[in-house]
Amino acid sequence: MPSSLWIQKARVIDPAAKRDAVGDVFIKDGVFVASLSAADKKRAKKIDGRGLVACPGLVDIHVHFREPGQTHKETIESGSRAGAAGGFTTVVCMPNTAPVADTAGTIQLIKDSIARTACIKVLPTGCITVGMKGEALAPIGSLKRAGVVAITDDGDCVQSNELMRRALEYARMFDLPVMDHCQDHSMTQGAVMNEGAMSTRLGLRGWPHAAEDLIVSRNVILSTYTGAHVHLQHISSRNSIEIIRRAKSRGIRVTAEATPHHIALTEGSLATYDTNFKMNPPLRTEEDRMAIIDGLRDGTLDILATDHAPHTDYEKDKEFDFAPNGILGLETALPVCLDILVRRSRFKLATVIDLMTRKPANLMKLNAGTLAAGAPADLCLFDPAEIWTYDAKAGFSKSSNSPWHGQKLTGRVKTTVVDGRVVFDRGRIVGR
């Protein structure tokens, strides 16, 4: 296999270098280089980039790969393949596995599997609290030493303000970001969708946006008090965005993410009780959806992240109340974001790519998200105009719980390169 890659005549977008022009990308020995020698050029594998966009490999800091313990839904192998097919070269896994990732031993188990089976870069997170129970701090120092890139209790938002304060203070010692899924559980008992006109009509228990707003506010206050960085996961509420906007204007160290589904869909999709639209936080109103897009536009929301959450058919195929939360994201994120943000909301293509590459990489202090010479050669090559029908059952994830199943999408990933190796090419996983 040639150690050099030469992507020719693509539209090259590298937000870090403010580059957006037709040109070539050169890769040698796993890193980007400014050019190749004549001899290298002769030997290099050449990829015709005409009509395609070449950008840094996409970075997703919020995925669920279900390993260990829930490998009927997804594995690190299948999840990383789904990521590669979606143009992602780096993903960050949530720790709500079985057992939860709250010890160095479990992190080591995850890292061993990553080394053996992942075709893209998969990075683990650890829990904030033991057992994700919100009662006592997990061994955060050991987790850091074992290799976690952040800590989070993910779906089990730490309810105790005191414990969260201590977690922030403690994590700050290791410069570990703390990611929080903002949900006041006392207000969301039994809740399965946004509280409002639609939940009233459908007779489903409502999850008021106030329950998100409260914890967002709590985190802003605790970040102010401790000086620690809090990353607010998948923001869904208009009010929360306003709270974050004010906090940022005061220089408080909070960052926040938005998901493709919250910018694309609303609670209106729930009229038929289709569980592929059930997720947490829930889809909200059109006003919320527009506020999230505006938040991405003005930087209040820093990045896009998918919350890729696989569940099997037989788990999702249930009464709405009983189906688990979550949908797939990795294989549809790019076309969905291109449609909603570029086509419908007039974002520059480079801005959307920035939200999916450089910005999430910087937020997590990862050496990724750029085509700069010397950087790891992680790259995504996609056709922004190709129209294709997404068949979730034919995808690379082990599960198929996607609201976009059977839909026509515009924009398709052609080739994914990790450390200079082609791992995905024209519909097939070709390397590791």
Partner 1 sequence: MPWTRRHLITLEELSVEEIDQIHATATAFKKILGRTVKKVPALRGKTIVNLFLEPSTRTRMAFDMAAKRLSADVISLDGSSSSTTKGETLRDTAQNIEALQADMIVIRHAAAGSPLYLSKILGIPVINAGDGAHEHPTQGLLDTFTMRERLGSLKGRKVVILGDILFSRVARSNIHALNKLGANVTIVGPSTLVPAWFTTLGVSVSHDLRSALEDAEVVMLLRIQHERQTAGMFPSLGEYTSLFGLNKTRASWLHPKAIIMHPGPINRGVEIDSELADGEHSVILEQVTNGIAVRMAVLYLCSGGQPEAVVTSD
Cα–Cα distance, 356 to 338 (Å, whole number): 11
Partners of 383 in beta bridges: 412
CA atoms within 13 A on the CB side of 307: 26
Beta bridge partners of 303: 257
The stretch among 88-96, 113-121, 189-197, 423-431 that binds partner 1 (CB under 8 A) is 189-197
- For residue 130, give the DSSP letter: G
| Shortest distance (Å) from residue 196 CB to partner 1 | 6
Tell me how far apart the terminal alpha carbons of the chain are, to the nearest angstrom.
13
Residues 68-87 that bind partner 1 (CB under 8 A): none
Tell me, residue by residue from 224 to 263, as one string, x for binding to partner 1 by CB under 8 A and - for no binding: ----------------------------------------
CB of 278 to partner 1, least distance (A): 11
Query: Residue 425 catalytic?
Result: no
By CB under 8 A, is residue 196 in contact with partner 1? yes
Q: Which of 154, 302, 307, 354 is catalytic?
A: 307
Q: Pick the binder of partner 1 from 246, 318, 343, 428 (CB under 8 A).
A: 318
- CB nearer to partner 1: give 98 or 197: 197
Residue 190 or 251 with smaller CB distance to partner 1: 190
Q: Is 199 near partner 1 (CB under 8 A)?
A: yes
Specify the stretch interacting with partner 1 by CB under 8 A; choose among 140-148, 197-205, 212-220, 329-337. Answer: 197-205
314 near partner 1, judged by CB under 8 A: yes
DSSP secondary structure letters along 187-247 = G-TT--EESSHHHHHHTPPEE-HHHHHHHHHHHHHHHHHH---EEEPS---HHHHHHHHHH
Q: Would you say 9 and 362 are in contact if contact means Cβ atoms under 8 Å apart?
A: no
Structure tokens of 257?
């993410």
Which residue, 2 or 196, has its beta carbon nearer to partner 1? 196
Q: How does DSSP classify residue 57?
A: P
Residue 287 touches partner 1, criterion: CB under 8 A: no
Q: Is 175 exposed, middle or buried (0-12, 13-18, 19+ CB in 10 A)?
A: exposed
Residue 320 lies near partner 1 (rule: CB under 8 A): yes
Which of the residues are catalytic? 307
Residues near partner 1, by CB under 8 A:
195-197, 199-205, 272-273, 314, 317-322
